[in-house]
Structure 1
Amino acid sequence: MLSGPVAVVHRNALSPVVFPLPEMLRRCLLLCLLAVLALPASALAQGDGIVDKTLYKTGNSGRYLMGGEWLYRADPSGNGAQQGFATSTSRLGWTPVTVPNAWNAKDYSDASFAGGVGWYRKDFHLPSAAKALSWVVRFESVNYRSRVYLNGRLIGKNTGAYLPFEIRLPAGLLKRGGRNVLAVRVDDRRFPTDFPPSGLSTTGVPTGGWWNYGGILREVYLRKIDRVDFTNVAVLPDLPCGTCDAHVTYKATVRNYGDSAQRVRVTARLGARNVALGTLAVGAKRFATFTKRIAVKHPRVWSPDSPYLYDTSVGAAVGGRTLQTYTVRTGIRSIKVVDGHLMLNGKPLHFRGFGTHEDSLDKGFAIDDAQREQQIQWAREAGATLFRSHYPLHPYYYERLDELGMLAWTEVPVYSVKTKYLKQRLVRELAAKELASAVQTNINHPSIIVWSAGNELSARPGPVQGYYIQRAVKLAKSLDPTRPVGLAVAGYPSAGCQPEYKPLDVIGINEYFGWYSGPNGQIADRSLLSDYLDSVRQCYPDKAIVITETGAEANRDGPVEERGTYQFQQDFANYHFGVYATKPWLSGAIWWTLEEFAVRPNWEGGNPWPNSPIHQKGVITMSGVKKPAFFDLQRIYKGTKQYG
Structure 2
Amino acid sequence: MPRRRPLLPALAALAALALVPSTAAAQSSGLSTDARYENGPTGRYLVGGQWLLRMDPKFDGQRQGFQSQTSTDGWTPISVPHAWNATDESETSFMGTVGWYRKDFKLPSGNRRFSWVMRFESVNYRSRIYLNGKLIGQNRGAYLPFEIRLPPSVLKRGGATNRLVVRVDSRRFSTDFPPSGLSVTGAPTGGWWNYGGLLREVYLRRIDGIDFSTAVVRPDLPCGTCDASLTYRATLRNYGERARRVTVRGKLGSRTINVGTVTVGPKKFATLQRRVGVRNPRVWDVGKPSLYDTTLTATSGGRTLQRFRNRTGIRSIKVANGELFLNGKRLNYRGFGLHEDSKDRGFAIDNATRDQQIAWAQEAGATLLRSHYPLHPHYYERLDELGMLAWVEVPVYAVKTQYLKQALVRRLAARELESAVLTNQNHPSIITWSIGNELSARPGPVQGSYIAEAVRRAKAIDPSRPVGYAVAGYPAAGCQPEYKPLDVIGINEYFGWYPGPNGQIADRELLSDYLDSVRACYGDKAIVITEFGAEANRDGPVEEKGTYLHQQDFVNYHLGVYASKPWLSGAVWWGLQEFRVRPGWEGGNPRPEPPIHQKGVVRFDGSKKPAFFDLQRLFKATTQVAAR
TM-score bracket, shorter-length normalisation:
over 0.9
Cross-structure match for 2:141: 160
1:70 aligns with 2:51: yes
Q: TM-score, normalised by structure 1?
A: 0.91
Q: Secondary structure at the match of 1:546?
A: strand
Higher-Rg member (1/2): 1
1:627 aligns with 2:609: yes
Cross-structure match for 2:363: 381
Cross-structure match for 2:564: 582
Q: Contact 2:60/2:97 (CA < 8 Å) preserved in 1?
A: no
Post-superposition offset of 1:79: 12
1:242 aligns with 2:255: no
Post-superposition offset of 1:78: 4.9
1:493 aligns with 2:475: yes
Q: Contact 1:340/1:585 (CA < 8 Å) preserved in 2?
A: yes
Most deviating of 303-312 and 359-368? 303-312
What residue identity is the alignment partner of 1:60?
A: P
2:421 to 439, 456, 459: 439
Q: Contact 1:45/1:125 (CA < 8 Å) preserved in 2?
A: no
CA–CA separation in structure 1 for the residues paired with 2:531 and 2:36? 30
Distance 1:269 1:54, change over 3 A: same
Q: Contact 1:156/1:167 (CA < 8 Å) preserved in 2?
A: yes
Q: Contact 1:513/1:525 (CA < 8 Å) preserved in 2?
A: yes
What residue identity is the alignment partner of 1:430?
A: L
2:573 to 591, 597, 604: 591
Cross-structure match for 2:89: 108
Cross-structure match for 1:4: none
Post-superposition offset of 1:76: 3.5
Cross-structure match for 1:533: 515
What residue identity is the alignment partner of 1:350?
A: N
What residue identity is the alignment partner of 1:215?
A: G
CA–CA separation in structure 2 for the residues paired with 1:409 and 1:323? 34
CA–CA separation in structure 2 for the residues paired with 1:376 and 1:552? 21
Distance 1:55 1:352, change over 3 A: same
CA–CA separation in structure 2 for the residues paired with 1:448 and 1:266? 26
Q: Secondary structure at the match of 1:562?
A: coil
1:95 aligns with 2:64: no
Post-superposition offset of 1:175: 1.1
CA–CA separation in structure 2 for the residues paired with 1:622 and 1:129? 46
1:367 to 349, 353, 367: 349
1:542 aligns with 2:520: no
CA–CA separation in structure 1 for the residues paired with 2:238 and 2:484? 42
Q: Contact 2:365/2:620 (CA < 8 Å) preserved in 1?
A: yes
CA–CA separation in structure 2 for the residues paired with 1:459 and 1:47? 53
Matches within 5 A, 1:479-518: 479-518=461-500
Matches within 5 A, 1:264-283: 264-283=246-265
CA–CA separation in structure 2 for the residues paired with 1:278 and 1:46? 44
What residue identity is the alignment partner of 1:224?
A: R
1:59 aligns with 2:40: yes
CA–CA separation in structure 2 for the residues paired with 1:212 and 1:493? 32
Q: Contact 1:45/1:51 (CA < 8 Å) preserved in 2?
A: no
Q: Secondary structure at the match of 2:446?
A: helix
CA–CA separation in structure 2 for the residues paired with 1:461 and 1:481? 25
CA–CA separation in structure 1 for the residues paired with 2:510 and 2:461? 40
Q: Secondary structure at the match of 1:475?
A: helix
Q: Secondary structure at the match of 2:569?
A: strand
Cross-structure match for 1:143: 124
Matches within 5 A, 1:25-36: none
Cross-structure match for 1:616: 598
Gaps of 5+ in 2: 1-24, 62-70
What residue identity is the alignment partner of 2:33?
A: D
1:553 aligns with 2:535: yes
2:115 to 124, 131, 134: 134
Gaps of 5+ in 1: 1-43, 81-89
Post-superposition offset of 1:394: 0.1
CA–CA separation in structure 2 for the residues paired with 1:202 and 1:287? 50
Q: Secondary structure at the match of 1:595?
A: coil
CA–CA separation in structure 1 for the residues paired with 2:546 and 2:576? 16
What residue identity is the alignment partner of 2:155?
A: L
CA–CA separation in structure 1 for the residues paired with 2:551 and 2:425? 36
What residue identity is the alignment partner of 1:171?
A: P
1:289 to 239, 258, 271: 271
1:468 aligns with 2:450: yes
1:600 to 571, 577, 582: 582
CA–CA separation in structure 1 for the residues paired with 2:282 and 2:153? 49
Q: Note the aligned Cα RMSD (angstroms).
A: 1.3
Q: Secondary structure at the match of 1:621?
A: coil
